[in-house]
Amino acid sequence: MMDAPRLSSTWFDGHSPRAQACELRIEGDELVLTVDASERRYPVRQVRWAERRSHGQRQSELPDGSLIQHAEAGEWDAWRQASGQRDGAVVGWMQSWRATLVAMGATVLFLAAAWTWGVPWLSQTLAHQIPRSLEARLGEQGMRQLDRLFLQPSALPVRQQDALRARFKSAVERAHPQGDAPAWQLSFHRSKALGANAFALPGGNIVITDDLVKLLADQPEAIVGVLAHELGHVHHRHGLDLMVRASLVSALVGVVLGDASGFLATVPATLATQSYSRDAERAADAFAARLLDQSGVSPSVMVAFFERIQQQERPAGQSDRSDRGEDGAALPIAISSHPDHAERIRFFREWRTEPARP
């Protein structure tokens, strides 16, 4: 049997910066390193071999923390090959891939945890820290965008608009005699894309479509209920929560990808693509029921709204939800796109006056 090929190289013991001359050979599955006539043996598989694709010197790490440095890459590779270690490059490549996969897995886990627990908590907390002036600015920005995307000027008579506005105003004032209701402005718009619908933006801009006003023309109290639901979203700052959440996500993505551009650029678009959580909808419904009740109107007036919206979604003869959503899909935060009509009808029908709060 031929002697194993030997290579004179340089070794660092891992403790002192002093380079020591060494001789290397591979015997079976052991790397034998000779320094000052003493031998050290390492299992070949535990050595982190220099990667073949790198340029310049070759550096390999030994399991005890010491290092081999070899200045001549070509000489090193030739010795490895002559020692029957042809797979060295592949092993190095596999090792670095394994490390990459582990790092990626950890990143995914971190993002999932951040998404599940961190983001909702942080966005809610932050949404309530945002000053009213910034909230109003974000709302205006969102309004401009939605106006461009979905809205046309209302064709309703101004007198009808004013009458509805006055009716809602007096209901809000009756329910909030201390003046602690959130600020709001109501505007009427025609909208092909949204159909019979209503939505609210941060800062209190509430929009109702001509189609919804017409759908509930004989039920003005139900219109008040719909507007109260939207005011509930304003009160709880749900739209702001969505915006903050989206910017947290893009901030997280920015941190991971090392690119934070577009951090705030996409924020207003959030309102056009995201929907409120079920809990947010329940909170807005509860706000509406309380407002109606305290203004002297039975919350059950809202049943008319849900029933008519449902009829619209399900024209005669068609069943279930197969045709649903054209309107809703256009703007998920708008009221007609909220799910679970049956549950909500029950909620408004069975709502009972709460005992007065201290």
Cα distances from 307 to residues 52, 58, 343, in angstroms, run 71, 76, 12
Question: Rounded to the nearest whole angstrom, what is the least distance from the CB of residue 276 to Zn ion in the complex?
Answer: 6
Distance CA 104, CA 101 (A): 5
Question: Rounded to the nearest whole angstrom, what is the least distance from the CB of residue 347 to Zn ion in the complex?
Answer: 13
Question: Rounded to the nearest whole angstrom, what is the least distance from the CB of residue 194 to Zn ion in the complex?
Answer: 13
Token digits of residue 231: 């005011």
* C-beta of 223 vs 284, nearer to Zn ion: 284
Residue nearest to Zn ion (CB): 284
* Helices and strands (DSSP H and E) totals, the chain: 13, 10
Question: Rounded to the nearest whole angstrom, what is the least distance from the CB of residue 281 to Zn ion in the complex?
Answer: 5
* C-beta of 85 vs 274, nearer to Zn ion: 274
Question: Rounded to the nearest whole angstrom, what is the least distance from the CB of residue 213 to Zn ion in the complex?
Answer: 18
> 179: phi > 0 → left, psi -120 to 50 → alpha, else beta; which?
left
The tally of CA atoms less than 13 A away on the side-chain side of residue 273 is 8
* C-beta of 68 vs 284, nearer to Zn ion: 284
Question: Rounded to the nearest whole angstrom, what is the least distance from the CB of residue 320 to Zn ion in the complex?
Answer: 22
Distance CA 27, CA 293 (A): 89
| 227 contacts 86 by C-beta, under 8 angstroms | no
End-to-end CA distance of the chain: 97
User: CA torsion 25→30→32→38, rounded to 10°?
Assistant: -160
* C-beta of 69 vs 275, nearer to Zn ion: 275
* C-beta of 11 vs 306, nearer to Zn ion: 306
Other beta carbons within 10 angstroms of residue 10's beta carbon come to: 15
Q: Which helix (H) or strand (E) holds 91?
A: helix 88-113
Name the 3-class secondary structure at 221: helix
Question: Rounded to the nearest whole angstrom, what is the least distance from the CB of residue 285 to Zn ion in the complex?
Answer: 8
* C-beta of 80 vs 338, nearer to Zn ion: 338
Contact positions vs Zn ion (CB under 5 A): 284
* C-beta of 232 vs 268, nearer to Zn ion: 232
Nearest CA among 108, 84, 70 for reference residue 29: 84
